[in-house]
Amino acid sequence: MTKAASTERTATAKKAASTKKAASTKKTPPAKKAASKASAASAASAASAAKKAPKGAAVKKAPAAGKVVVAPKKATARLKGTAPAKTVVHPPGDESRTALVRRARRINRELAEVFPYAHPELDFENPFQLVVATVLSAQTTDLRVNQTTPSLFAKYPSPEDLAAANPEEVEEILRPCGFFRAKTKSVIGLSKALVEDFGGEVPGRLEDLVKLPGVGRKTAFVVLGNAFGRPGITVDTHFQRLVRRWRWTGESDPDKIEAAIGALFPKTDWTDLSHHVIWHGRRICHARKPACGACPIAPLCPAYGEGETDPEKAKKLLKYEKGGFPGQRLKPPQAYLDAGGKPAPPLGAG
């Protein structure tokens, strides 16, 4: 090999090495390196924050557009056309069984403080009067029944008397209750059954009560709980509406609702629970216009905001003694009167 060829080969090798080094340097520009480092630092910061955050804490998100109504203290509501607030106490579907039981029982305790005098809102003096009044209360108000039964019981004070009554005369008395022909047939029929099958006495067992004409499980539990002191859940329209609104159950069948709610509470609470829920439904948590702004359990209600949330406007929606009006009984318990409740006027009073 000549000296010139050797020199040329050495020069070529040095040039190739120089080109490779330049390419390696060009591969990661300073700007990209900085971006890469910033990205890594951001990820590290996020990971560090996640580690420091308490377990189960929600990641803060940007607020959703639109107005969100916030319930007093804790709860918030879901309004039509708006996104749910981030601080709802127990979002549907995310509540554990244990949390549901605790929330349900707390609601019952709160209502017990609001309605310590809650009682059956039908006037009665004995089991016979209660079972008849409860049958008559279907598709009408307890107030109208209470205004009607004094005349009925004055003329027919016992099962024997009502069993032997002239249907047309009974119909005339029951006319203000609505569906008076069907109700006349039921009360005369159950009176005959009491005389023929139970010696003129109202039975104290569920399986016997439901055999009486016009008596179903709801009526039977009203009688058992309030005339015999035996626990029962009264699943009327108010009860059904509220337990679904509170997300205690998604059931719609009364028997399934009864079973689902009964599993959340001790048996000893069932009768008073029924009174608390029904009273709340009649006075505050109405079907069409619930008075959310005047509701004592708003912080525990996932449906807060379905009704009026302004406190002053909500107060105007309250009914019965909470709104300053008479209750439904002509002869209410003394505890109710002591709490400021007013007895209802008799039928025909101005």
d(CA 235, CA 249): 13
Residue 197 annotated to the active site: no
Each residue of 98-124: b (16+ CB within 10 Å) or e? eebeebbeebbebbeebbebbbbbbbb
Residue 197 half-sphere exposure toward CB, CA atoms < 13 A: 13
Q: Where are the alpha helices (DSSP H) in the chain?
A: 3-27, 30-52, 97-114, 127-136, 142-155, 159-163, 167-174, 180-198, 206-209, 217-227, 237-245, 254-262, 270-283, 311-315, 334-338
Distances (CA, A) of 108 to 21, 213, 297: 78, 33, 9
Residue tagged 């099962």 (tokens): 159
For residue 121, the 8-state DSSP code is S
d(CA 155, CA 26): 109
CB proximity list for 298: less than 8 A, separation 6 or greater: 71, 72, 75, 292, 304
274 and 265 in contact (C-beta within 8 Å)?
Answer: no
Distances (CA, A) of 212 to 7, 116, 208: 121, 33, 7
Query: One of 142, 236, 269, 272 is an active-site residue; which one?
Result: 236
348 and 151 in contact (C-beta within 8 Å)?
Answer: no
What is the four-CA torsion angle of 150, 139, 297, 75, rounded to 10 degrees? Answer: -170
Burial of residue 70 (CB within 10 Å: 0-12, 13-18, 19+) is middle
Residue 218 annotated to the active site: yes
d(CA 69, CA 206): 45
Query: One of 183, 218, 269, 322 is an active-site residue; which one?
Result: 218
Which are the catalytic amino acids? 218, 236
